[in-house]
Amino acid sequence: MTATNPPSEPISATALRQAFDAACAAQDEGRLTEARQQYLLLLKHLPKSPLIHYNLGLVLFYLGEHAQALEEFSLAADNGPEDCDTLFNLALCQKKTGDQSAAIATYLRILDHHPDHVDCLYNLGGCYRDIDDDHEAIHCYQQVLALNPDYLPAVNNLAYLHHRRDENDQAIFYYGQVLEQRPENASVQYLLAALLGVPLDHPPDVYIRDFFDSYAEDFEYNLVSELGYDNPRQLHACLRRSEAGETACAHGLDLGCGTGLSGLAFKEMVAVLDGVDLSANMLARAAEKGCYASLHEDSILHHLASTLETYDLFLATDVFIYVGELVELFSSAREAARSEALFCFSTEHLDGDGYQLLQTGRYAYSPAYIRQAAAASGWKVLTLESARLRREREDWLQGDLWVLQLDQPPPKSTPA
């Protein structure tokens, strides 16, 4: 690293000061690449300067080079007196590089000397939340609110944590507090409606986009490794067992494609596969799979209504839990369908009739509702199979796998 490089020819203190001022000016004006280069040159002459290592760490952090920033903040901490700002940024980098334990230790080190450091307490709560230590996370957020009752992100996180722990009374209380300060918050309105049993036909797009943008980094690990999620492979096997069997498709559309797990499962049976999702962060990970000819950042309904393409395969694995009413979606898919198109999807199971927004914030569907919605929009059911969707605490969440086929001729002419 720069600290181990041999020093260059000595230069005057005045020249060093001018070089440092130029680096700071470039940093302040957002010329980060230039600032980085200037600080690296300075470190050849002042390899143990905590201030230069600190400033370079900030530049690297904003450039997204978190591992390198971590090294610079570590050198700043090692070469200077214990500094709260240095340690705080060190913890940020430790978390960014996936070392939650180190970040927690650094935040606790800060709090030993600054027990009322609100931002440190809040970030420490986030670390505990991310490793599923809800008890400690809640304690941190409560400490934040004791110091600053208007710290809205802490209120929002308390609502989220109590919600995922099924402590619904507390979740309702904190969601209500969020709405007192931000009555226009559509995501919180939706989650509060779910907890209160208020029927809603659809979630707001902003809720879906924000939820999955924030979840994209850990999505696959949490879903596959921790929750045993295997819906795409199960759905593909369900299709193979259906009347459609070994059908080869020319053009498919993965609705709510997420990180592309369905693309991996179905890519061998479709010549060209496109994807659509509201979350840009999820789409970035889907692009890495190499399964998709094109990816569209859009809502499912808007894309189906506006696309000029036609498809003979539609996929929606674990997607309808965030959709709600389905007749409009089925109808829009029929408008973009080729003759004898297939529609493969999974649903969370609901006994009885209709569909329902659950307290989890997800939608569940009765088989009767799916059959009615499909028939009303021109699709026939080829296959229905029960399946275990994923683990939820100590139990498996039960769902249904569906394969539909276009039952009425599509209104669009299909390309030759």
Q: Give whole-number Cα distances, 184 to 181, 187, 188, 206, 389, in Å.
A: 9, 9, 9, 12, 34
Instruction: List, in sequence order, every residue forming a beta bridge with 249; answer none if it has no partner.
Output: 270
**pLDDT tens across 11-28, in order?**
788 999 999 999 999 999
Alpha helices in 216-321 (DSSP H): 219-220, 231-241, 261-266, 280-289, 300-306
Give the per-residue pLDDT at 409.
63
- Name the residue type at position 121: L
> Residue 2 pLDDT > 70, yes or no?
no
Opening angle at CA 47, ends 43 and 52, nearest 5: 55
Count the Cβ atoms, other than its own, within 10 Å of residue 320: 26
> Residue 31 pLDDT > 60, yes or no?
yes
Give the per-residue pLDDT at 7.
52
**pLDDT tens across 310-369, in order?**
999 999 999 999 999 999 999 999 999 999 999 999 999 999 899 999 999 999 999 999
CA distance linking residue 337 with residue 329, whole number of Å: 12
Look at strands 395-406 and 379-392 and give their pairing.
Answer: antiparallel
Instruction: Please provide the average confidence, as pLDDT, over all residues in the chain.
Output: 93
CA distance linking residue 157 with residue 404, whole number of Å: 40
CA distance linking residue 206 with residue 322, whole number of Å: 12
Instruction: List, in sequence order, every residue forming a beta bridge with 272; answer none if it has no partner.
Output: 251
- In which element (H, E) is residue 389 found? strand 379-392
Give the per-residue pLDDT at 393.
79
Can you list the positions of beta strands (E) in 213-362? Answer: 249-255, 270-277, 294-297, 311-316, 337-348, 355-357
Residue 273 burial (10 A CB sphere; 0-12, 13-18, 19+): buried
* Residues listed for the chain: 416
What pTM, to 2 d.p., does this model score? 0.84
DSSP type of residue 275: E
Lowest mean per-residue pLDDT among 159-163, 351-355, 370-374, 410-414: 410-414
Give the per-residue pLDDT at 1.
46
**pLDDT tens across 157-179, in order?**
999 999 999 999 999 999 999 99
Give the per-residue pLDDT at 414.
43
**Superfamily of chain region 2-196:** Tetratricopeptide repeat domain (1.25.40.10)
Domain assignments of the chain as residue spans, ordered by start: 2-196, 216-406
CA distance linking residue 348 with residue 361, whole number of Å: 12
Give the orientation angle of helix 50-62 with respect to helix 32-45, to 10 degrees.
160
> Residue 141 pLDDT > 70, yes or no?
yes
More confident residue, 260 or 81: 260
Lowest mean per-residue pLDDT among 111-120, 289-298, 391-400: 391-400
Give the per-residue pLDDT at 217.
81
Q: Which residues contact 88 (CB under 8 A, 6 or more apart)?
A: 110, 119, 120, 123
Check whether domain 216-406 has CATH 3.40.50.150, yes or no: yes
Give the per-residue pLDDT at 416.
37
Give the per-residue pLDDT at 246.
79
- Rounded-to-10 torsion of CA 129, 220, 201, 404: -160
CB 127 within 8 A of CB 103: yes
Stretch 49-55: mean pLDDT? 96
> Residue 415 pLDDT > 60, yes or no?
no
**pLDDT tens across 217-276, in order?**
888 888 888 888 999 999 999 999 998 887 899 999 999 999 999 999 999 999 999 999
